[in-house]
Amino acid sequence: MTDIKKIGIIGGSGALGSALAKRFIKESFEVTIGSRSPEKVISKISESDKNLDVQNLKIQGIAQTASESELIFLTVPFAAHQKTVHEIKHHVHGKIVVDTTVPLVPPKVARVQLPDSGCVARKTQEMLGNDVQVVSALHNVAATALAKSETPDGEVMVFGNNKEARETVIQLISKISLKGWHCGSIDNAVVAESLTPVLIFMNKYYSFKGAGIKIVDENMTE
């Protein structure tokens, strides 16, 4: 794995983005959050952990964050997805972009509503071009669990057309106590994108705090 130390998080004012920022900061990564609402980001981060050492945290514009970071997590709502991808397009050449976007369309967020393109991550790859390695991940990990639990139970399906890029992301998220699995090409990400509304439904129906997934096999050992 490339020795990545500078991580950019686009959309850090949301639950997932702020939880990722906190976990990476705790592991001594240099984290830059790209946001149109810096005051909201500061409030979100400080509220979640008042003892967090934020010396390794910067908050900048979206394009600048994409330009200065070695690897970028895209954690914006689906409604802002295409606009944000256009905004970072000319600043991510040769980099890995981890797209966590789920096509949730309020108010019916517990229903699968795939976009016309069929798969958000594939659209991201098409928009950014082949010199950017788009990896799709973290759709099915509850942001609440990521923010509060030292070792979340949920595991992560990781998709992308480049095996080395997927492996880089798997190793990177292992630093924040997440188990990732190679799950094939970017087209396969439609499975994880579709699963999130199902998990949201289950959370509501069964009063779960944050349903997730775990890969099991009879040959696995603890």
- Alpha carbons 52 and 29: distance in angstroms, whole number: 13
Query: What confidence tens digit (pLDDT) does each residue in 101-143 have?
Result: 999 999 999 999 999 888 999 999 999 999 999 999 999 999 8
Averaged over 146-154, what is the pLDDT? Answer: 82
Query: What confidence tens digit (pLDDT) does each residue in 151-172 have?
Result: 888 899 999 999 999 999 999 9
Query: Is pTM beyond 0.85 here?
Result: yes
Q: Indicate if the alpha-carbon torsion angle 75, 80, 82, 83 is positive or negative.
A: negative
Split at pLDDT 50, 70, 90, the class of 47 is low
- 83 vs 13, residue with greater confidence: 83
CA angle 209/212/215 to nearest 5° reads 150
All domains in the chain, ordered by first residue: 6-206 (3.40.50.720)
